[in-house]
A and B are shown apart, each in its own frame.
Chain A
Amino acid sequence: MNPVTFGLAFAFGCFGIALLMNLWRLFRSDSLGDRILALDTMVINAIALLALYGIAAETTVYFEAALLFALTGFVSSVAYARFLLRGNIVE
Chain B
Amino acid sequence: MSIEMKADKVLDLKGLSCPMPIVKINKGIKEVQVGQVVHAITSDPGALADFPAWAKKSGNEILKTEQDGRVTNFYIRRAA
| Bound together | no
Point out residues on A near B: beta carbons under 8 Å.
Answer: none
